[in-house]
Amino acid sequence: MALARRALSGDLVVDSRDEAGGLVPEVRAGSPRSEASGVSGSLPDAAPANWVDRHAPGRLKPWLKLGRFDRPTGIWLLMLPGWQGVALAAAMGHRWPEGRLLVLFAAGSGLMRAAGCAYNDIVDRDIDAKVARTAARPIASGQISVGAAWLFILACCAASLVILIEPQSRSASAWAFPPWRWWRPIRS
């Protein structure tokens, strides 16, 4: 038995049962999935006039969409508590927050959120390809391979690690885990 419904985008979505009895959404013609193969158009759940679609070069659009840089809310949710911690630590010393630390937290938040979004897209690629809202994502639509997405995750994590252990930083994490402790054997 199939149940038909309309998605928010107006596409016809038919929920049918698979062998195990679970519902499987199937997107019909005119949907983002049918238009997603090879097209780097706007994602249905992103703002239609986001900066990635307007200003980014065509070759970078799938990568920026993989890291969800077209939707900055997640970056803000990671960055603002970090900025608050920097501001509170500076206030305890009766000084203004160090601008360099604020920039490091902003960059680290963006990179780690991008890595998390890419990992989510790798794990959910089969489901994303079947759902109208997520069918145009870069991995689900085939614009980026799974191997390339893993390299993207590793690059984001490596850049974040460099920010974390950046030697000139006055953050507690850089001094608590200095790189020279990793390469020397621990003697008891």
* The CA-based dihedral angle spanning residues 74, 78, 84, 85, taken in that order and rounded to the nearest 10 degrees: 180
Gap between the Cα atoms of 140 and 127, Å rounded: 8
DSSP character at residue 141: T
pLDDT at residue 63 in the model: 94
Q: Judge whether 42 and 32 are in contact, CB under 8 Å.
A: no
In a domain, 127, yes or no: yes
In a domain, 41, yes or no: yes
Confidence of residue 37 (pLDDT cuts 50, 70, 90): very low
In a domain, 186, yes or no: no
b/e sequence 80-95, b meaning 16+ C-beta within 10 Å: eebbeebeebeeeeee
**Number of domains composing the chain:** 1
In a domain, 145, yes or no: yes
pLDDT(31) > 70: no
What CATH number has the domain bearing residue 28? Answer: 1.10.357
In a domain, 116, yes or no: yes
Tokens coding 54: 């307007």
In a domain, 187, yes or no: no
Q: Which amino acid is at 63?
A: W
Tokens coding 87: 């501001």
In a domain, 188, yes or no: no
Give the DSSP letter string of 152-170. HHHHHHHHHHHHHT-TT--
Give percent of the chain with pLDDT exceeding 70: 64
- State the residue range of the domain holding 116: 3-175
Tokens coding 140: 């689900």
In a domain, 154, yes or no: yes
Q: What is the pLDDT of residues 136-145, one digit of tens each?
A: 899 999 999 9
